[in-house]
Amino acid sequence: MPKLLRTIRLDPSDAFVFTRAAEPGEWAVPGTFLFWEQPVDGLLGKERSAFRSGLLGVESFGWSTLATIVEATDLERSLLVRQLAEQLVARCGAPDLAAALPAAESEVAYAEELAAPGPGVLVAIHRVVEDGEIVERFRTLLPGTDERHSRAFSFMEVPDEAPDEQLDLAGMAGLKGTDRT
């Protein structure tokens, strides 16, 4: 059974980081081919973010910071190759479907290689230009296993304690009795 990538959104930041964000749950490929014929050192803002850390959602041709590895059927894989080939014709100037299919097959096979760790693993990409060449580095993360990135805050209920309804922010900041004008 093939393993592939699906976009995932853990927070709304992709909508702000990229010009066009992929929708959660889209099939994804690395998408680096979109930068091959561009002077990437001239990219700015959201386009630069897409270059540096975007995985390409095939349906929307939008970007996602993360993808998750999922099991797919052979039919789903075949449909993904076909959909990507159609996008290459519609959006990238491929002359026809026959010419686009081998390129789409290659990109989906590359996504399969990245999905080798197995279902549930998150995948992120980081691209840079080194010696005039685009270099890709991929990171994988098992959800819930990275102790360095645990929650910054947690809330706990303390039984039999009533919350203090009075909160004095000025006093907490040491501004009480100070002229703030």
What does each of the 181 residues of the chain score in pLDDT, given as a tens digit?
999 999 999 899 999 999 999 999 999 999 999 998 888 888 899 999 999 999 999 999 999 999 999 999 999 999 999 999 999 999 999 999 999 999 999 999 999 999 999 999 999 999 999 998 999 999 998 866 555 544 444 444 545 555 555 555 556 555 555 554 4
Report the C-alpha gap between 112 and 68 in whole angstroms: 12
pTM listed for this prediction: 0.77
- Using DSSP's 3-state secondary structure scheme, residue 2 falls into coil
Residue ranges in 93-127 assigned as alpha helix (H): 97-114
Report the C-alpha gap between 140 and 126 in whole angstroms: 12
Report the C-alpha gap between 117 and 71 in whole angstroms: 11
Query: For residues 134 and 127, is the Cβ–Cβ distance under 8 A?
Result: yes
What pLDDT score was predicted for residue 159? 59
* Domain positions in the chain: 3-148
What pLDDT score was predicted for residue 132? 87
What pLDDT score was predicted for residue 181? 47
What pLDDT score was predicted for residue 37? 81
62-64 and 55-57 strand pairing: antiparallel
- Using DSSP's 3-state secondary structure scheme, residue 11 falls into coil
> What residue type is assigned to position 32 of the chain?
T
What pLDDT score was predicted for residue 87? 97
